[in-house]
Amino acid sequence: MSSRRTASEAFEKVPTVVFTTSSEAAAALAREVRELIEQKNAKGRPAVLGMATGSTPVPFYRELIRLHKEEGLSFKNVHTFNLDEYYGLEPTHPESYARFMADQLFDHIDIPKENIHIPSGTVPGDRVFAHCRDYEDSIDKLGGVDLQILGIGRTGHIGFNEPGSSRDSLTRRITLDRITRQDAAADFRGEQNVPHFAITMGVGTILRARKLVLMAWGENKAGIVAKAVEGEVTDAISASFLQEHSDARFFLDTGAASELTRLKLPWLVGPVSWTPQETQRAVCWQSARLGRPVLKLVDEDYNENGLSDLLSEQGPAYQLNIRIFNRLQHTITGWPGGKPDADDTYRPERAQPFPKRVLVFSPEPQDALIAIGGTIDRLREQGHTVKLVALTSGSLRVPDAAADNFASTLLELSMTDSKPAQWAEQKSYSQSLLNIITEKGEFGEDPPVLRRLKALILRGELRDAAASVGLSSKEITFMDLPFYEAGRYRRFKTSKADADAVHACIKDFRPHQIYVTGDAADPSSVPSLTYKLIREALANCSKDDWIGACTMWLYRSKEKALEPHEIDMSLPLSPAQLDRKRRAMSCFQSLSSLEQNMPITNQNTAKLYDSLGLAEYEAMEAFQRARAGA
């Protein structure tokens, strides 16, 4: 794919290639790496690659391994320099970048060990400066980095160059930003366990590479990517410095590109085919920009804001406004399962059949309740059969403290009971659990019994939370999908066993309605992986008689909220319902700050509807319609 600038990319200050999926992008980059290695090796020179860690490069590393195993690509004459390492972690620590690189790439290719360079996380404090200087020197001795691979953090960091890193900064020890530590919290089972420091190549070090490719996937990254690509060069966003490099490119999937002007406001960069959705997007954008409700927009507004072709095609403004207003109005319903005995024509969901069998998929136990607890409440209240399916155990999120609490309480109970002999087994069991927690230490991997206990703790939290929206434990299914049990965050890999389990779950229940999330998420995330499993399972049900009548509603868990033109159904929540939802959320002790913000997201959706000129509600849960059939 070419990265030459076109008119539609006028706002972009660095060449940016948008791929349909992350796998396509990863494959394209792997092909470039292959050419680079072959060209350099043909000249008898080693290729020098700059490597990144995190979830983003995982599909790229899988493709490199495939090229090695299936197509004979050799890494014998390749040298690598990693961007960074957590300071304080041994190379054997499960979350160290040394271990990550071994697991994800180096152990599967023929690169000589001595060609691998990763900053040390354990160099003593008084040697850090010299270590960093040596790291710079060894890059220079090999003639510099030929191609540097980069990801981007939500702070806009490249490597771990957090906001404030200067254009000329070199390899050094830095303090991690709060947002970066929050993003790593699930990996380390709690923010409190995430190291505070890291050693990272500097912005200046990175920019010395001859070529740079920054990859980003999923809507979570869309906002920061747009700032880095279209905004000013600033040390507040270190990725923006790529604009100053003569051979830097961004490789994005459509989710990560979704805030770029060419995708978000395409009429500003060229002719647009005015589909109903695109029309709604333009009208809502204009209303928000002018701070005026849809019904008060006038012809001049359209003409003066680059929408004269829309006006000439679908105007006058008065009629266009009414059409869009009605469309928005029709998305609002208090009846997510359809309203019995009502005219369906303008309702998002049909009345029949009634009651419906509704399947709500939650990637991790907490996701669905947090995102659409109000809808679940309403569906159940209106008589539908709701089955909430927690696809994975979520045990990796549960902090040691929760397991410690449980074991300590059990131990205390066993000692305070009047018949201690009867409690002997519980006593030794709780003691052995406490020993396991102490022995494995803060960062050690959880043995199976501890993971099991953590999963059960989360089950209990989900049961409590579900009860506050009226769901009994009989209505909850825990699937504990195997990919989650065998993996770690940012590098999970699903298999046939996962696909079969999801398929069986859907086939048995024969749902009339499915609620699901993950379509726009980072492809390595649990919501995205489970979304793919569900789509695959539905494709396998495509010949079943029930599938044609099954509707599917997408919700957003942690990604950016749906925008008005993407919303097909919007469920208003009263202040009391929002409070119930907050109470449900408070049952989960392991929530990240992103999830805790969900009620605010729901309130923002309501404010948006209000500002467009629709009724003013306290909060709204929003959905996009998707096809259940393949």
- C-alpha 442/C-alpha 447 separation (Å) is 13
Site for ligand F6R contains 53 (CB under 6 A): yes
Contact (CB, 8 A) for 498 and 590: no
Q: 206 or 481: whose CB is closer to ligand F6R?
A: 206
To ligand F6R, the closest distance from the beta carbon of 82 in angstroms equals 7
x-marked contacts with ligand F6R along 461-500 as a string, rule CB under 6 A: -----------------------------x----------
Which of 561, 559, 538 minimizes the C-alpha distance to 550?
538
54 binds ligand F6R (CB under 6 A): yes
Strands (E), 481-618: 513-517, 551-555, 569-573
**Between residues 158 and 506, which has the closer beta carbon with respect to ligand F6R?**
158
Q: How many residues bind ligand F6R (CB under 6 A)?
A: 14
Tokens of 225: 């990517």
Gap between the Cα atoms of 581 and 586, Å rounded: 9
CB 101 within 8 Å of CB 64: no
In the list 29, 83, 368, 520, the residue contacting ligand F6R (rule: CB under 6 A) is 83
Three-state secondary structure call for residue 455:
helix
Residue span binding ligand F6R (CB under 6 A) among the ranges 53-61, 323-331, 553-561, 579-587: 53-61
Round to whole Å and give the CA distance between 362 and 558. Answer: 12
Using CB under 6 A, which of 26, 37, 49, 52 touches ligand F6R? Answer: 52
Q: Should residue 336 be labelled a site residue for ligand F6R when binding is judged by CB under 6 A?
A: no
Q: Please, which residues bridge with residue 144 across strands? A: none
Residue 353, preceding peptide bond in cis (omega within 30° of 0): yes
Q: Residue 85 CB, nearest distance to ligand F6R (Å)?
A: 8
Footprint of ligand F6R on 146-165 (CB under 6 A): 151-153, 157-159
The DSSP 8-state label assigned to residue 540 in this structure reads: H
Which of 162, 219, 461, 621 is catalytic? The answer is: 162
162 is catalytic: yes
* Residue 255 within binding range of ligand F6R, rule CB under 6 A: no
Residue 489 Cβ vs ligand F6R, minimum distance, rounded to whole Å: 9
Q: At what angle do helices 276-290 and 317-331 cross, to 10 degrees?
A: 100
Query: Closest CB to ligand F6R belongs to which residue?
Result: 151
Residue 84 in contact with ligand F6R, rule: CB under 6 A: yes
Q: Which is nearer to ligand F6R, 49 or 83 (CB)?
A: 83
Give the number of residues written for the chain. 630
Exactly one of 29, 33, 47, 56 binds ligand F6R (CB under 6 A); which one? Answer: 56
**β-strand partners of 554:** 516, 624
Strands of the sheet containing 513-517, edge to edge, are 476-478, 385-390, 357-362, 513-517, 551-555, 619-627, 569-573
Instruction: Quote helix, strand, coil % in the chain, to nearest 5.
Output: 50, 15, 40
Under rule CB under 6 A, residue 172 binds ligand F6R = no
As measured in angstroms, the least distance from the Cβ of 187 to ligand F6R is: 9
Asked if residue 355 has a cis previous peptide bond (ω within 30° of 0), the answer is yes
Per CB under 6 A, does 195 bind ligand F6R? no
Q: Which residues lie near ligand F6R (CB under 6 A)?
A: 52-56, 83-84, 151-153, 157-159, 490
State the catalytic residues: 162
